[in-house]
Structure 1
Amino acid sequence: MERGVDTWWDHLLDVLRTVGEVSERDPHGLTVVLGREGSSTAVVEIVMTPREWKDMTGIGGWSMSAGAEHVRQLVLDQPSNKRYLVYGLYVLRPCESPEIPLNPLFAQLAELAEQYPGGVPGAAWVAHGRERN
């Protein structure tokens, strides 16, 4: 894997290389192969682009080193039944697939939106002043 012009991404790669073999993941992200107790290997796929890494560290307020160490620890602590660390809303979450599972409440809202594309008949959002309960 060639070093690029993104110092933060390169630093993340360097830190992850301290715990295992790091390679690019198709279509984006990183694959980390590390040895675990009993000489078995574990594979953790980080589903995140360099741009998402910048967002995660920038919005999260991480320094370059602290952010990379955080991801390193996530890789080391990854549950054996979950292969993926998936980026979403400025954090990496352990997942069983490369997509974050849909929250059931959001699935219900999506179903309602599909049933009523113009909005639910008779429903409205209303804002009240402080004097009303």
Structure 2
Amino acid sequence: SVKINAEKCMYCGNCFSVCPALPIADPVNDGVAIVVGGKVGNLRTPPKFSRLAVAYLPNNPPRWPEVTKTIRKIFDAYAAGAKKHERVGEWIDRIGWEKFFAVTGLPFTYQHIDDWTYAFTTYRTTAQVKWVK
């Protein structure tokens, strides 16, 4: 069996890529976060970052029952309320985050608050390049 020397470990993850059967997950402290609404393309609207929908779910491989149940909740609410060809992020922007949490039944916690006064000025909102002299 393969063992990791904790004193020399740099947390790079190369051991897992060489030996996928190596259990490197910590069942007590590891968890899964779910983010929704992000996009990369520039087709209809500019790119935007994903936002946190669920801050923590337990990491229970191989089937991740809590994660799949939560994703099913989000998908069912999206399928019931979205317009044709509407992306998840566009649907959330249209109904608002408050209603998103209401229709999905997900709890809203303090971890979801990520807005601050000058947040918009600190990140790019499009992939388009603007040349400035």
* TM-score range relative to shorter protein: under 0.3
Q: TM-score, normalised by structure 2?
A: 0.26
Q: TM-score, normalised by structure 1?
A: 0.26
Point out the structure with max Rg over C-alpha. Answer: 1
The structure with more strand, counted as a fraction of residues: 1
Question: Relative contact order: is structure 1 or structure 2 higher (C-alpha 8 Å, sep ≥ 6)?
Answer: 2
